Amino acid sequence: MSLISSLRLVLSRPHPAGRPFIYGGLAVAVIGGLLLGGWLFWPGVLFTLFCLYFFRDPERVPPPRGQVVLAPADGRVVMAGPAVPPEELGLGPAPRYRVCIFLSVLDVHVNRMPVDGVVTRIAYRHGAFLNASLDKASVDNERNALAIRMPDGRDVAVVQIAGLIARRILCHVREGDQVQAGDRFGIIRFGSRTDVYLPEGARPLVAVGQLMIGGETVVAELLPMANPA
User: Mind telling me the catalytic residues?
Assistant: 192
Let me know: does 49 contact 205? Beta carbons within 8 Å: no
Instruction: List all residues 6 or more positions away from 193 whose beta carbon is below 8 Å from its beta carbon.
Output: 75, 78, 100, 101, 102, 103, 132, 133, 137, 161, 163
Backbone angles phi, psi at 54, to 5 degrees: -65, -40
Q: In what order do the strands lie in the sheet with 110-112?
A: 110-112, 184-188, 169-171
- The CA distance from 172 to 16, in Å, is 11
Say which amino acid occupies 27: A
Q: How far apart are CA 110 and CA 180, in angstroms?
A: 15
Burial class for 188, CB neighbours closer than 10 Å (0-12, 13-18, 19+): buried
